[in-house]
Amino acid sequence: MVNMLKFDDKSLSEILANFSEERCLAFSVSSTTRLLPCYEHYARNHLSDCSELPRTLVNDLWQKALEGDFDLSGWGDSLEQIMQMIPQEDEGDGFVDLLAEDALASLAYSIRYLLSQDVQEAIWSAKRAYEAADQAAIKMLKAKPESIKFEQVVVGHEFVQRILLFQKKDIELLHAGDIGTVHQNAMAQAIFSRAELQKFNITA
């Protein structure tokens, strides 16, 4: 693939180090937002109670990024609640469980960024979105891990390039200070469509 995008922790660290707290938070929660439908799909199909808490917290994080409000009251408790919701390895029985774990872990990292303003937390949030796409690509591909071109094929898969392109565009918009458009894009651009999530269910 020409101009194939790759996840680059070092480059992201250098970029985010020069962003304001609001822009870093927006970058972090944009990945969380795009992953959140994975949790909601999992909860609707596998849990007796589909909690609205993750969606509420994501909306609250966006409000903070948009308004520059970094009041931390209650966010330590919110982080603890999300950590308790993350599916454990012995609780799940399929691929959608792993995607739900990625979504809630990304949310936890976004909250940790809010609490610490440590850019590494924002990078980890974005990386969970990348890793979810990476694992989904591996699941859908027929190539063997021992194949010489396996890594290149996985990175070039549409799932992986999709999230990397979203993140690249987020960075460009945040450089211009356009948090509002990043918010709108993240709400409209889930990593996986409903049809793709349903397919993961079938092939789990």
- Would residue 202 count as lying in a domain? no
Residue 150 burial class via C-beta count within 10 angstroms: exposed 0-12, middle 13-18, buried 19 and up:
middle
Domain span at residue 103? 9-196
Cα torsion at 119, 86, 194, 173 (round to 10°)?
A: -10
pTM: 0.92
* Contacts of residue 2, Cβ cutoff 8 Å, sequence gap at least 6: none
Does residue 109 lie in a domain region?
yes
Residue 2 lies in a domain: no
Cβ count near 163 (within 10 Å): 26
Instruction: Say how far apart CA 147 and CA 80 lie, in whole Å.
Output: 41
Total number of domains in the chain = 1
Residue 76 located in a structural domain: yes
Q: Using alpha carbons, select from 67, 68, 62 the residue that is nearest to residue 183.
A: 62
Residue 4 lies in a domain: no
In angstroms, rounded to a whole number, what is the distance separating the alpha carbons of residues 110 and 172? 20
Q: Is residue 203 part of a domain?
A: no
pLDDT digit string, tens, across residues 21-76: 999 999 999 999 999 999 999 998 888 777 899 999 999 999 999 999 999 999 99
* Residue 1 belongs to a domain: no
* Spatial distance between the Cα atoms of 65 and 141, rounded to a whole number of angstroms: 37
Looking at residue 204, its amino acid is: A
Going by C-alpha positions, the residue among 175, 159, 171 that lies closest to residue 12 is 171
End-to-end alpha carbon distance in the chain = 28
pLDDT tens, residue by residue, 178-204: 999 999 999 999 999 999 998 887 544
Check residues 171 and 4 and name the one with the higher pLDDT: 171
Is 204 a domain residue? no
Q: What is the CATH number of the domain that holds 175?
A: 1.20.1590.10
Name the average pLDDT for the chain. 91
